[in-house]
Amino acid sequence: MTIDVFKRQVGDRAAAMVTSGTVVGLGSGSTARFATLRIAERLRTGDLHDVLGIPTSSDTATLAREGGIPLTTLEEHGVIDVTIDGADEVDPDWNVIKGLGGALLREKIVAYASRVEIMVVDEGKLVKRLGSKGPVPVEVLQFGWRNTFLGLEKTGARPVLRLRGERPFVTDEGNWILDCHYGPIADPETLAHRIKEIPGVVEHGLFLGMVHRVVVAGADGVRLLEKP
């Protein structure tokens, strides 16, 4: 099966966990997109009703509106019943790296407000240590970003300014992203604290202790991982 088939499978499985009368966090990225589409389909068929969505990016907001999902805000609903989002890497302790899609700041705000945070991934995203396959995205202010860059280097990173074409990639909040290559990370919690101490850092893509369930698709089908 193709990777898109896997993504659709986990998106559909996670969307099946959404119940009527709830506030749902709508994640960003290609896998979470399938969950949003499935929620919209369930609303159209009457299988689901009285659901409000809180999107984690402008792209997800557009997708939800096009699908007919009513949207709300954290100001109106400060507690989210369940959020379905994708991840770039997931370790055995269910710590994850997010942000390759560029929405890590809103995604973390939504995750923090969620009773249940569900990650939807294909089995290729499972790693023994975070940082094994890709960078840790760090959202930074444009002002003084070169000094922030130097500060991140002191944490052991090889930072790379993310570009879109020839210009810096700009997040929904008007910030830039430095993709920080560390290799396998021995102590994610210590690294997370060191990154946040650097002036100019808005947020990082290390989501530690925030995930409650992981839906994984692979050659043997879809499986649900839940913490005891």
Q: Are residues 18 and 105 in the same domain?
A: yes
Specify the pLDDT at position 1: 60
Q: Are residues 151 and 186 in the same domain?
A: yes
Total domains in the chain come to: 2
DSSP character string of 77-137: ---EEEEEEE-SEE-TT--EE--TTS-HHHHHHHHHTEEEEEEEEEGGGB-SSTTSSS-EE
Looking at the fold, whether 27 and 94 belong to one and the same domain comes out as: yes
Active site residue 107: yes
Q: Which of 107, 117, 139, 203 is catalytic?
A: 107
User: For residue range 163-217, what is the model confidence (pLDDT) as tens digits?
Assistant: 999 999 999 999 999 999 999 999 999 999 999 999 999 999 999 999 999 999 8
Tell me the Cα Rg of the chain. Answer: 17
* CATH number of domain containing 114: 3.40.50.1360
Q: What are phi and psi of 52, to 5 degrees?
A: -120, 140
Give the predicted TM-score (pTM) of the model: 0.95
Average pLDDT for the chain: 96
**What is the DSSP secondary structure assignment for residue 76, as one 8-state letter?**
T
The answer, yes or no, to whether residue 2 has pLDDT greater than 90, is no
* Domain enclosing residue 175, as ranges: 136-202
- For 39, residues 6+ apart whose C-beta sits below 8 A from its C-beta are 15, 18, 24, 26, 48, 51, 53, 67, 69
Q: Are residues 67 and 178 in the same domain?
A: no
Are residues 179 and 116 both part of a single domain? no
